Amino acid sequence: MPNLLLRIVLALALTVAMGESAFAQAEMGKKTRAVAHRFAANNSLFVLYHEVGHLLIDQLKLPVLGREEDAADNMATWTLLNEDTPESHQALADAAYGWRLSGIAYGANLDDSDYYAAHSLDRQRAFQIVCLMVGSDDRAFRSIATEYAIDRDRQDTCFWDYELVNRSMSSVLSTHVARKARPAEVRITYHDVSGRLRDAANAFRQSGVFERVASEVERRYPLRRRVEFNAKRCGEANAFYDPDTVEIIFCYELMEDFIGLAAKDMASKGGLYLGPGDGGRISQ
């Protein structure tokens, strides 16, 4: 009888332990999903501000000295730095780390076409974001720049990079903003999607980044033509601005790609850490 009682007690203890373990795993799964969705939303936010850069260059006829893609990246970074909130800081940290992960995932076999492409290399884009961050505020962002192994001399000269971007952006936009006669109009459309993209599409819509960027455009910029924001299946992980239709298109595949990069990175580390914005060494 004592042995039977002992076996019952042990069985109950094992059941409770297994239940707690399953609960802990489920909670970790929820946390991992939440972090991956935050990371994907922040990367999507940066991409959308990048496309808004193209929109403004086109519709306001802004001057660009250099490559337009680099200018659009700088405009996106500048916009988020000027928001100057913990959320915008995290968005920039996630965006930089997103380009870092993308460079690792897709940049193993570079050829000449990557070097003469309109965009800088993904890892260069990551470093440029971090340089402008530390250039704007070395106290706030010195630790992130150090995590990216940017040496102290370059961190110090990043101040001049940011000052140039800040002066240029303030100058070219001030005239247009001062002449603003009526609010810009932005129409948002989420196209239905089924199959494997449904979760990514739902996560993108729930993030609210489309509405956030649309509100910024409506509030700040005098655009004569209505701007269309369309989220849809594209057949590729991409986002782009179409000057013919004055349309910013965000592909659900890109949201899916960002979620996948985050999940893979966290799985490789066995935890929820996702780059310097969460405190720790970046992937090499």
pLDDT digits (tens, 9 = 90+) for 118-149: 788 889 999 999 999 999 999 999 999 999 99
Is residue 70 assigned to a domain? yes
Going by DSSP bridges, is the β-strand pair 239-242/247-251 parallel, antiparallel, or unpaired?
A: antiparallel
Residue 120 domain-assigned? yes
The rounded distance, in Å, linking the Cα atoms of 124 and 103 is: 9
The answer as to whether 2 is a domain residue is no
Domain assignment of residue 247, yes or no: yes
Please check the confidence at residue 162 and state whether its pLDDT lies above 90: yes
200: containing domain:
38-270
The answer to the question of residue 25 being in a domain is: no
The mean per-residue pLDDT over the stretch 187-206 comes to 95
Q: What is the 3-state secondary structure (H, E, C) of the chain?
A: CHHHHHHHHHHHHHHHHHHHHHHHHHHHHHHHHHHHHHHHHHHHHHHHHHHHHHHHHHHCCCCCCCCHHHHHHHHHHHHHHHHCCHHHHHHHHHHHHHHHHHHHHHCCCCCHHHHCCCCCCHHHHHHHHHHHHHHHCHHHHHHHHHHCCCCHHHHHHHHHHHHHHHHHHHHHHHHHHHCCCCCCCEEEEECCCCHHHHHHHHHHHHHCHHHHHHHHHHHHCCCCCCEEEEEECCCCCCEEEECCCCEEEEEHHHHHHHHHHHHHHHHHHCCCCCCHHHCCCCCC
pLDDT of 31 strictly over 90? no
Let me know if residue 192 belongs to a domain.
yes
pTM: 0.85
Nearest to 128 by CA among 67, 77, 57, 68: 77
- Binned at pLDDT 50, 70 and 90, residue 191 comes out as very high
Counting the structural domains of the chain, the total is 1
Of residues 274 and 106, the one with the higher pLDDT is: 106
Answer whether residue 207 is part of any domain. Answer: yes
Residue 17 lies in a domain: no
